Amino acid sequence: MNCTPSLSTKNRFTPLACNAELENESSLVHVEGEMVLDVPDSILPKHKRCPKWEKRLPSRYVIASVPGERSLQLSVEIQTTDTGQRLQIFALLDCGATGLFINSTLVREKGLTTRTLQRPIPVYNVDGSPNEAGSITEVVDLVLQFKDHSERVVLAVTNLGKQDIILGLTWLREHNPEVDWKTGEVKMSRCSQHCRTCFLEEKQRKKGVKRKEEKLRVCRAGPMPEADVEIKELGDVPDRAMII
């Protein structure tokens, strides 16, 4: 007499279930004639989607370990977007770096609010080696003001040593300022149209030009002004030959 229990599925490679498993059939579901374990959704790993602002960040950063010849110190003001706190600090304008950075020490000392990234962004030195500070895991949302120019920026938080903020090559390409590397003078005179402050300044300038053109058009469309002195007839004008 054959005492072998019958298979619960037609698949001969399916292992036999023990009595304890057969008793607890609530955790099993039938899929196409086979019994599989029903795992709760809470146990399955979930991949969080990156928000839109994080997708706009670069896939990698490059930072210089020390300031080079193509770097300048700028006096800037930053303002937090949540509390309105203002800080007057120095920013390093550096062509050897890509992106915008803020010192993690400054963030902790001033209690600036940070945002945690879903995916860390790697940081490399200019020679291609990984930066010793590690990947970027959080950023700070601030308003950056330099002279009459202001904009909202997202700064990557990392260890910058003695520097508070670094404005890299991507910032230079975006605003294309006039930089005198000898005198250290920087003029924000060639910003693109999406720069809010510079856009308003350009709009005011165009309005002034338009007003001048309108005044000139009205002046040309009106009657000719009368001369103060009446022109004499040609016969009344003495002959030059008679003038002694």
What is the average pLDDT across 3-24? 50
Task: Please report the pLDDT score of residue 112 as a whole number.
Answer: 95
pTM value? Answer: 0.58
Distances (CA, A) of 76 to 14, 37, 162, 164, 243: 70, 60, 16, 11, 75
| Cβ atoms of residues 152 and 139 within 8 Å | no
| pLDDT level of residue 26 (50, 70, 90 thresholds) | very low
- Per DSSP, the three-state class of 11 is coil
Q: Element (H or E) spanning 119, and its range?
A: strand 115-121
Task: Please report the pLDDT score of residue 182 as a whole number.
Answer: 84
- Per-residue pLDDT tens over the stretch 79-106: 999 989 999 999 999 888 889 999 999 9
Residues linked to residue 78 through DSSP beta bridges, in sequence order: 87, 144
- Per-residue pLDDT tens over the stretch 210-223: 888 888 887 777 66
Domains of the chain by start residue, with CATH: 58-187 (2.40.70.10)
Task: Please report the pLDDT score of residue 10 as a whole number.
Answer: 56
User: d(Cα 197, Cα 181) in Å, to the nearest integer?
Assistant: 24
| Cβ atoms of residues 34 and 14 within 8 Å | yes
